Structure 1
Amino acid sequence: MSQFCLKIIALIAMTIDHVGLVFGMAGWNLLPLDSSVLRAIGRIAFPLFAFCLAQGWEKTHNRKRYFQNLAFGALASQIPFCMAFDSQNLTATRSEESLFVFSWPYLFCATVAAWGYWRFVLHKRYEHSLILVVLAVLVPGFQWEIKGYWILSENLNVFYTFLMAFFCLYILPHRFEFEKEERLGILIATPVLLVAYGLPADYGTGLLGIVLVAGLCILEKKEHQILFLLLWSCFYYGLLVGNPISVLSCASAGIFILLYNPEARGRFRAKKLFYGYYPTHLLILGLINAGLQCRILF
């Protein structure tokens, strides 16, 4: 099984999950079937995406490009993510007031993130991608509500989870190569960024999403990766969420990882398929949310 096949399976599972969330019992309750089944199917998606990105992280010769793609995905997906999944957008709510504010602590967090990217990824050189990173880390500081409908909220999309995981992985092997002042900067920057962007990001509970991505990158043997995924599934969905069905569904992603053949080459590479599909399908769901709000309220 090629990596392209894994991505297609993950995209299908993710779409099923998101349709279940928006139109199922937790959202508009418009589906004629139990949406919990759809949501359980969706638990396959995140481990497969994490595995594919981990494979790319280990094989790529240009990790700077990896950061740029993830930052672009985070920036492009944040408004659609909030429109689609903010809990207030999944029910008909009316508000006569609108809100547009900026949380100023994010200015400090954005400065730390920009410094870390400029110093450790760009190696003190200026490139236009620095502007992209600054925008991506500033957007989470904004909250934007229009008469009960949230365009931007405090929840962050999954690209921030991947960004934080790869930032930690990028710094870890080189931590002894830096000067003492830079090591101090890393000790300050890493917790700040993990708290500001890792915790509110998708799968951010206890930073466990970041742990899964990092673990799949660090572990080299497929058997170890599958065992790690099984333990992660039991802890996250078993102990924290308390959903045995989701444990089984998430762990079943290990079957597809076992079938993965790194030498397999599909007819289509589609390296950036996920980067485009993720914000696009979220935007569609978000616009449907807005349409349902208007239809019910007016």
Structure 2
Amino acid sequence: MKYIAMFFMLLSHLAQTGFLYSLGEKYFALADIFVLLGRISMPIFCFFTVQAVIYTKDFKKYILRMLVFALLSEIPFDLAIFGAPIYKDSQNVFFTLLMGALAIYGIDYLWKKNLNPILKILAILIIAFIARNLALTFRTDYKHNGIMAIVILYLAKDSKILTALALLLAFHFEFEMGGYAIPVTYGFVYLAIPLIMLYNGQRGKQNKWTFYLFYPVHLLIIYLMKLLFL
């Protein structure tokens, strides 16, 4: 599923970075399709962020990896998307997933504590509110929508039916792709639901570094392609 998500992310970024659109009008329709198909990837990444927080053996190492690659990915992200090595008004999706992971770790910790239920709910709302506003303040990719999606998926983690409903709720919003594509409704995002429903809870054969490396490397390659072809 992670490889599927990476594939659709690649398609989206070929369009979102402006590469396909800049090749000429004959590529516009293909680019729009790639943008739509790319919506499949984010729900999968949010879902597996929840899984990682629940099952990781060392949360500190997991968060450290996320932070390191968020920092390493920022220049490739800015170059590919905005054409500049530093662009302060938008940060890459690793920061979104990192903030979401920290939020649900805090929520999970409090939920397991023997506290008054009302205090628990209040604390959870406060954590979600802080994470949501941090994402807005730092303008991370998907901003507050990504944070709330991760929190909602965490709350629904014990049931596939609730997870499907959480996906319907969490991604019921619209997003305009950087001015390159038509305004896109997230109807295509729901194509991720049957894929996630097929998840059997077992880890497949994979190299854990593949996704971490793929994100900055593919963005850097797209930027180099823009330089070469455009």
Q: Give the structure-1-normalised TM-score.
A: 0.62
Question: Structure 2 CA distance, aligned partners of 1:244 and 1:255?
Answer: 24
Amino acid at match of 2:26: P
CA offsets per residue over residues 231-258 of structure 1, 9 Å max, x none?
Answer: 223x312xx65x8964321011001011
Give the superposition deviation at 1:291.
4.2
1:19-67 CA-to-partner distances (Å, cap 9, x unmatched) read: 1223233xx2447331111100000001111112211211112111111
2:49 is matched with: 53
Aligned to 1:270: 207
What SS does the aligned partner of 1:24 have? helix
Cα distance change, pair 287–39 in 1 and its aligned pair in 2 (3 A): same
Match of 1:19 in 2: 14
CA contact (8 A) 2:19 2:226 kept: no
Q: Tell me the equivalent position of 1:110.
A: none
Select the structure of larger CA radius of gyration.
Answer: 1
Q: 2:66 aligns with which of 55, 65, 70?
A: 70
One-letter amino acid matched to 2:167? L
| Gaps in structure 2 of 5+ consecutive residues | 115-125, 177-181
Q: Which amino acid aligns with 1:78?
A: E
1:249 pairs with 177, 188, 193, which one?
A: 188
Q: 1:31 to 1:84 in 2, by over 3 A?
A: farther
Cα deviation code 1:255-286 (max 9, x no counterpart): 101111113x53x2222211010000011112
Distance 1:59 1:198, change over 3 A: farther
Deviations 1:189-245 (A, max 9, x none): x74x754544411001xx011111122122121211111111223x312xx65x896
How many residues are aligned here?
206
- Does 1:160 find its partner at 2:156? no
Percentage of pairs with the same residue:
29
What do you get for the CA RMSD once the two structures are aligned? 2.7
In 2, the alpha carbon distance for the partners of 1:198 and 1:244 equals 21
Query: 1:97 is matched with which residue?
Result: none
| Secondary structure class of the residue paired with 2:85 | strand
Aligned to 2:85: 151
Is the Cα–Cα contact under 8 Å of residues 82 and 152 in structure 1 kept in the other structure? yes
Of 40, 43, 47, 1:44 maps to 40
In 2, Cα distance between the equivalents of 1:231 and 1:279?
30
- What is the Cα deviation at residue 168 of structure 1? 1.6
Structure-2 separation of matches of 1:48 and 1:261: 14
**Change in CA separation of 1:274 and 1:255 when aligned onto 2, cut-off 3 Å:** same
Q: Is the 8 A contact 1:54 1:216 kept in 2?
A: yes
